[in-house]
Amino acid sequence: MKRPLRALAAAGLLAAGAIVAVALGGTASADTQICEQYGSTTIGGKYVVQNNRWGTSAQQCINVTSTGFSITRQDGVGSTSGAPVSYPSIFVGCHYTNCSPGTNLPVQVKNISSAPGSISYNYVSGAIYDAAYDIWLDPSPKKDGVNQMEIMIWLNRQGPIQPIGSPVGNASIAGRTWEVWRGSNGSNNVISYVAPSAIPSLSFDAMAFINDTKNRGAITSDWYLTSIQAGFEPWQGGVGLAVNSFSQSVNTGGTTPTTPPATTPPPATTPPPGNAACSVKYTTNVWNNGFTADVTITNTGSSTVNGWTLNYNLPSGQTITNSWNATVTQSGSAVTARNLSYNGTLAPGASTSFGYQATLNGAFSTPNSFTLNGSTCTKV
């Protein structure tokens, strides 16, 4: 989201209610250079890339490619105790009346089943900046102006800078532990999830962060998701910073369950070995410091499973970094995998698979047991 109302207000440089013009560009078919303050263009027939230099009169330029952008000039200098100078970014959704092509946003949170996204960054040394994945929400289907809730995911932080507000604890989301900050800049509320070390790339479901924000009482399911953005907030320097690639979808069709649906309660007792209503096949590809896992769940019972949650523990030294075909979270050794909108129904005899990549520290071994909606599965 354009930052005049977010951080210029925090820095005391913008009066409340100020209106900022948006300069719209065309479509980037080849590398496109943008130096205009709020210049933008579209790529891939789906995303908007914007220069978004709002906190300085000094020059900033970005080079837009077919998959992202890079900063080629950044002359602004911001105080590390204040706001950054810009937020060059790529986004899907609506931002100050500029909506990405074909977007289905705004859409109510309760109607979102999943929001799979991925980002790949290029970082540089000698600059002060954060690499931020931004999620904007509002009680109304707003397409212009500032929203009431901003979720910031800081995948990298360089220099003596910090998010708005103060630390309020930690959260385990997308297979990682994040330091959580909470505050307000005077125009909107902000919850920030800060990585303890730089993450160059990540694939995850944005709904995991939205649900955590909802569980903190900051929004409700009736709020609207208006845009999702990825880019950089530079304070000083930043030439060479780049979004190599960005992918973000928002799938609708029902609320992603956060607990097993009431129609499939866990059994009162655990089925004895060999008589489970499910089986799990765990296939891996291991190298010296990491591995990928493919997990296949089969309904071996006589009743249809409508919505599934698979629980198990990873051996010590294994940490999930990204996943696909399921919402996978890790807290310590405990792993929880939940279905997405398209693979939650398992008829008797039916199977579904999901997978993930993980880091490895020490000898490799596989999980000992799995439970599906509370029922112990046979490991095959």
Strand pairing class (309-313; 371-372): antiparallel
Catalytic option among 130, 138, 150, 212: 150
In the residue annotation, 150 being an active-site residue is answered as yes
In the residue annotation, 179 being an active-site residue is answered as no
305/345 Cα distance (integer angstroms)? 6
Pick from 54, 125, 138, 62: nearest CA to 93 = 138
378/90 Cα distance (integer angstroms)? 45
Tokens of 49: 């890339």
Catalytic option among 202, 233, 251, 295: 233
Residue that the structure tokens 């920030």 belong to: 192
Within 140-289, strands assigned E span 149-158, 166-173, 176-184, 189-194, 201-205, 224-236, 242-248, 251-252, 278-287
Contact 130, 114 (CB under 8 A): no
351/348 Cα distance (integer angstroms)? 9
Provide the 8-state DSSP code for 28.
-
Tokens of 243: 């979004």
Which residues are identified as catalytic? 150, 233
